[in-house]
A and B are shown apart, each in its own frame.
Chain A
Amino acid sequence: MSRNQSNNKEILTLAVEIGDALLRSGSEIYRVEDTLFHILDAFGLENFDVYVLSNGIFASANEDKEDGCSIIRHVPLSDVHLGKIAALNQLSREICDHSCDIEEAWERLAACKSIPEPKPWVQGLSCGIGCGCFCAIFGGGFFDSIFALILGIFLQYMRMDHENRKVSKFMTNIVGSAFLTAASLLLLNLKLPVMQDKIVIGGIVPLLPGIALTTSIRDLFNGDYLSGAIHLLDALLTGMCIAVGVGFVIIVYQHIPGGVSLP
């Protein structure tokens, strides 16, 4: 079976594009590598290799022949979108079943990439409800949960705003947790019957590095030490940023005379 150069190149590009989209949506390394191998295999390439990191893809095919080609791709760490991962997973399944040729695959890939983020108000509201519910299950009372809900909505709007203005993730985490702590202390100072700590604990849940932690552990377990370390560092730094934000506000609060004393 002879295949001209452009075809090889196109297959490799398609595979790397799919891998790129998967990685951007926050997939684990093992899944990206596996998907790329299967796709390239399904299209009948014989001599190929793929190396994936949390923020980059290296792929080459037919390097020892005349029509050899290779692609290097830098993929910045970005927000998680599980819906895209599911859709891309489905796409790669179909490619491997040979029920989807190259042209169709390109179209499907474009469709997968354009799956929209939830609308801003949906994001805000769901973040708020999440914070409220988490506040309740971690021991907050009814009023605490209501306040956590309101603060959660503000928090999500702040995060979306920061994202649009390309504010660094660290700043977002510090400012976000500082905002939550400050707001909860304000509520406490207004002599409202609230458990200040529970509001903050419920509120910081969306900032927590749950995904980074999970992904890093799974990467490490699969032997992708470098990628695992990248995500682990991300998780640790995020946790530290939250602690800094909370701590900073409490220090400032302690120096304001006339505050309600903390337990």
Chain B
Amino acid sequence: MILQFFLAMAACASFAVLFGVPKDQFFFSSLTGALGWISYLVFCELGAGIVFASLFATFFLTILSRFFAALRKNPVTLYLVTGIFTLVPGAGIYYTSYYFIMNDMHMFTVKGMETFKIAGAISIGIIFGFAIPQKLFQIRRR
């Protein structure tokens, strides 16, 4: 788990470089991503299933991004975008097209539905995360 944390952090940090995140925000961007990924793993451990784990992890990630954004007075996008990459279903896209080509219609449907559900779960997670009033984050800043 600790190894996963640092790997996720390194992964998010390098993406932060790629997207031109200002140097003083590297740490927070990558921390957000790493914590998002760890929370995903934790929710999976707790038996939430991939889709629900994605939902909860995105929700957590969004709240964390908003918290950091308020704390560091920067746009939320800075933290959210770099962090979300750990949760976007890249593996799902790969397996879906793979099974489609291999003519394994059963697995294709399973993986395809799963990918769509994950994408939907991420959307809902973000929406719920932003539904929390901004005031709560502003109080914490002081």
Contacts and interface: CB of A to CB of B under 8 A. Distances in A.
Nearest to B3: A136
A217 B98 contact: no
Nearest to B17: A126
Contacts of A66: none
Contact of B19 (A82, A133, A201): A82
Interface residues of A, number: 57
Given A137-B7, A208-B90, A86 B130 contact: no
Contacts of B11: 129-130, 133-134, 137, 205
A251 interface: yes
A172 B10 CA distance: 25
Contacts of B16: 82
A239 B93 contact: yes
**Dominant SS among interface residues on chain A:** helix
A56 interface: no
A204 B85 CA distance: 11
Interface string A27-43: 11001000000000000
Given A28-B77, A82-B81, A244 B97 contact: yes
Given A31-B75, A137-B7, A84 B126 contact: no
A208 B90 CA distance: 7
Contact of B127 (A89, A156, A217): A217
A51 interface: no
Q: Which 5 interchain pairs have the tightest Cβ spacing? A: A133-B11, A243-B97, A130-B14, A126-B17, A126-B14
Interface of B: 4, 7-8, 10-11, 14-22, 25, 37, 73-75, 77-78, 80-82, 84-86, 88, 90-91, 93-98, 100-102, 119, 122-123, 126-127, 130
